[in-house]
Amino acid sequence: KSRESTYQDLQEMKYLEMVIKESMRLYPPVPLFSRILNESASFNGALLPQGFVCALYVLQLHRNPDIFPDPEKFDPDRFLPENSTSRPPYAYVPFSAGLRNCIGQRFAMLELKATISKILRNFEILPVLDHEPQLSIEPVLKSYNGLPIVLKAR
């Protein structure tokens, strides 16, 4: 509470990073992204021609029970090294993936850790009971009815 987090402090916040990753698994910042095929490809026996637009619904991918057992449960331990090393490389893509992934993803993670850790040093975050967010699937995921919280000073 008495000082700002250093870069080294942020690097050591492993559990907070797992909490952030699990939050983005359930509520990816960008719930849908698309790519245009540079060449024809086959998928599940169907031929997709060059120029075909493929869309990936990240919100659904991250809730695939074959990859994430009990997918609706919030469980940061999914991101422990021993629980994530066998996961397919494109099963978790909150910042997209491949050549066109988000160039700011590492910076975003550092910013999230810095902001959340500062809030948590000064406040206890309490949920508003009986509030169910109504998701709005837009370029950036948001809730139609907000996401109220209560901050209690420490």
Average pLDDT, the chain: 93
Q: Which residues are annotated as a binding site?
A: 102
User: How many Å apart are CA 135 and CA 144, to the nearest integer?
Assistant: 6
The pTM assigned to this predicted structure is 0.88
pLDDT tens readout for residues 104-154: 999 999 999 999 999 999 999 998 888 988 999 888 999 999 999 999 999
Helices vs. strands in the chain: H and E counts, helices first: 5, 8
Which pLDDT band holds residue 102 (cuts at 50, 70, 90)? confident
pLDDT tens readout for residues 54-98: 999 999 999 999 999 999 999 999 999 999 999 998 999 999 888
Other C-beta atoms within 10 Å of 99: how many?
Answer: 6
Q: Which residues are annotated as a binding site for heme?
A: 102
> 2: burial class by Cβ within 10 Å (0-12, 13-18, 19+)?
exposed
pLDDT of 4 strictly over 90 = no
pLDDT of 1 strictly over 70 = no
